Homo-oligomer: A and B are copies of this chain.
Amino acid sequence: MFKFQVLKQHSHSSARLGRITTPHGTIDTPAFMPVGTQATVKALSPEDLEHCGAQIILGNTYHLYLRPGHEIVQKLGGLHRFMNWNKPILTDSGGFQVFSLNQLAKVTEEGVTFKSHIDGSSHFFSPEQAMKVQQALGADIIMTFDEPMPYPAEKTAVETSLALSTRWAKRCKAVHREETQALFGIVQGGMFKDLRQESAKQIVDIGFAGYAIGGLSVGEDIETMYDVAAYTAPLLPEDKPRYLMGVGTPQDLLTSSGMGIDMFDCVMPTRNARNGSLFTSQGKVNIKNNRHKADASPVDPACDCVTCKNYSRAYLRHLFIADEILALTLNSIHNIAFYQNRMHKIRKAILNDAPFDPAWVNQGNNEGEDQLD
């Protein structure tokens, strides 16, 4: 049921135009996946997401396991039915949150013991348990359970961790049922290219439906991230989708697409939206700014999202300043639409063999709008 086709190679870069087919529909790649941590992309309805052009969203296994619980989601018909999103879903394995939200998580060969960030209760996640939870949630694409490394980390520690992640990847594959879910493996190895090569070889040897690059965007500088991603991407099979986890800015998406990455996810567009920071074709807009107080123009005149078509900067500023819930929804609609629109431009350029235009992802703070007036 799961299929990936490379439709066209870009003549200006290593980017490729592709299509992923899943039981819940197709995804045009390179693709950006909005993050729906707790069975909802924050402040957005499934209808909003569709209008923004999202073709796939991400769910967080750790969060859904703790609340409402994977068995309840399964009883309610799986994650798609539960949240009324009938297009593709990818769930992560929970590994990242188990560690990032639990500084005292304890790792053994068998798995990880951790405490719930909600109520402090004790839990145990193994590769088998992560698979079981993801099978209950029923996403179209699921991820192997691995051990993310902090940054910076000693090379020996990264090497040891990488070996454990490989053994865990094998255990995930062993309990995987291929009928309806595609399982992706994750390449680790920190910022060490030889370890990235070693991890890529081991994970590719096990054999997965797609491959993710994990352990980036964890605090390293941007050049290092690009360097490691560019090194790792071509180590992965050309005929499988490549997913750069947790990335990133519009610039990151453009640059990484050019390396041959096909999938991305990041909380940035929705989180920024809830803080009043909006992406536009003219740079970032801080909607709280006094300068927007009586501005009848849309956030981005080049954008055709519901927010830009119907509302002024003045109205969005008013809603935000007045603590109105609709501010969060309208801002999130715009930022997700901006991200989807950037991916559309990237795909169109690949199709037409046009160069990527840095202006698409203008991150220049040309209004000085990270600061308030």
**A interface residues (Cβ-Cβ under 8 A, vs B):** 38-40, 42-45, 67-68, 72, 75-77, 82-84, 293-294, 296, 310-312, 314-315, 317-319, 321-322, 324-326, 328-330
Contact of A76 among B43, B72, B83, B296 (CB under 8 A): B296
Interfacial chain B residues near A44, Cβ < 8 Å: 326
Contact of A72 among B68, B314, B326 (CB under 8 A): B314
Q: List 20 A-B contacts (CB under 8 A).
A: A38-B318, A38-B319, A39-B315, A40-B326, A42-B326, A45-B326, A67-B318, A67-B321, A68-B314, A68-B317, A68-B321, A72-B294, A75-B296, A77-B296, A82-B312, A82-B314, A83-B315, A84-B310, A84-B311, A84-B315
Are B76 and A322 in contact, with the CB atoms below 8 A?
A: no
- Cα separation A221 to B362 with both chains bound (whole Å): 61
- Cα separation A76 to B294 with both chains bound (whole Å): 7
Are A43 and B325 in contact, with the CB atoms below 8 A?
A: yes
Interfacial chain B residues near A43, Cβ < 8 Å: 325-326
Interfacial chain B residues near A296, Cβ < 8 Å: 75-77
- Cα separation A68 to B45 with both chains bound (whole Å): 28
Interfacial chain B residues near A310, Cβ < 8 Å: 84
- Cα separation A319 to B75 with both chains bound (whole Å): 17
Interfacial chain B residues near A314, Cβ < 8 Å: 68, 72, 76, 82
Interfacial chain B residues near A42, Cβ < 8 Å: 324-326
Min Cβ gap A202→B in Å is 37
Min Cβ gap A128→B in Å is 24
Interfacial chain B residues near A77, Cβ < 8 Å: 296
